[in-house]
Amino acid sequence: MFSRPVARAALAAQKRAFSSTVRASEKVAVLGAGGGIGQPLSLLLKLDPHVTSLSLYDIRGAPGVAADVSHIDTPSTVKGYAADQLDAALEGAKVIVIPAGVPRKPGMTRDDLFNTNASIVRDLAAAIARVSPEACVCVISNPVNSTVPIVAETFKKAGVYDPRRVFGVTTLDVVRAARFLSEITSADPKDAVVTVVGGHSGATIVPLLSQTQYGKGVAGETYEKIVHRIQFGGDEVVKAKDGAGSATLSMAYAGAKFANAVLRGLKGEAGVVTPTFVKSPLFADQGVEYFSSNVELGPNGVEKIHPLGPLTAEEEKLLAACLPDLKKNIEKGVQFVNQTA
């Protein structure tokens, strides 16, 4: 045990380290800040002590959202940018979160959004490549399985691609998995964390329930049902909103949680590990260049991509169903950038 003076000195040093960590300058930009996700995401980022400056951009309404959020009594500064101010919004950003684009309506798949969202994401990525190529880019806009390759290919064209800094945000699948597992086991969701791997749509979403204390005993029909619910949780919200869009509030929570993890990694916090959809070697030999698995985040973005670990026969089957769909979605994104000027 420490003597009292030593313990006091250690505590003071710890406090200094904490406050200097929190004070380090971190500008976060939200592209699509006026939307259903963008607004609550901006609110949650305003509450994050790791964010010192918040830059809110949208083709509609961002200055209003910024004025509103800026009154919240946390230390970060907030500025809103109108449609013609994208470059200014991106200037100096360390982390850029992109929820810009259209959401689903009942009866649509995420892939049905491709025609509209692909060019939105490509054009935003081109601006990022020009203005803030060193930023970590967190893509929320669907279909994530295709929009992440679109960002990567756009960066490659501009000669600024660093695979360590482009992320697809799959955190909502992880959030849902913990919540749904807690509902059937009565565990606290914080103890029911599930690694969800693969991609972000239907069969490409692969929960590894066997790797958790509370999930490994789930079997039979209960297992089938929870896997289906994790894979198609987005549909529940789209159906309930009945034409008014898809998940916004839970997504804002998930997006803020992921941005917080990226920021903690950038600041050198050790052991920040979360699933995210990145350029990955795990299934590259099968032509699947991007894959979500547990990733350790660090000062340069992706620090280490973890292997999947042991899978059950059911999980092997889910993975086998995931890979061909994911491959197609990725190729569609790659082709889109390389076929357009």
* Pick 137 or 247: Cβ nearer ligand LMR: 247
Contact 115, 104 (CB under 8 A): no
By CB under 6 A, tell whether 238 contacts ligand LMR. yes
d(CA 291, CA 282): 7
Q: Which residues, 238 to 267, sit near ligand NAD by CB under 6 A?
A: 245-248, 251
By CB under 6 A, tell whether 64 contacts ligand NAD. no
Compute the chain's Rg from CA coordinates. 20
Q: Mask: binding to ligand NAD, 205-244, rule CB under 6 A, as x and -?
A: ----------------------------------------
H helices of the chain, where? 4-23, 38-46, 62-69, 86-90, 114-131, 144-158, 171-185, 220-231, 233-241, 249-266, 313-339
Q: Which residues pair with 98 in a beta bridge?
A: 139
Give 148's Cβ-side CA count (13 Å radius).
31
Give 179's Cβ-side CA count (13 Å radius).
11
* Pick 115 or 222: Cβ nearer ligand NAD: 115
In the residue annotation, 50 being an active-site residue is answered as no
Residue 126 is encoded by which pair of tokens? 């081109």
Pick what 51 binds: ligand LMR, ligand NAD, none; C-beta below 5 to 8 Å, kind-dependent.
none
d(CA 25, CA 67): 21
By CB under 6 A, tell whether 146 contacts ligand LMR. no
Pick what 237 binds: ligand LMR, ligand NAD, none; C-beta below 5 to 8 Å, kind-dependent.
ligand LMR
Q: Mask: binding to ligand LMR, 152-171, rule CB under 6 A, as x and -?
A: --------------------
* Pick 82 or 321: Cβ nearer ligand NAD: 82
By CB under 6 A, tell whether 78 contacts ligand LMR. no
Q: Which residues, 286 to 325, sit near ligand NAD by CB under 6 A?
A: none
Please tell me the count of residues contacting ligand LMR according to CB under 6 A: 10
d(CA 279, CA 149): 8
Active site residues: 200
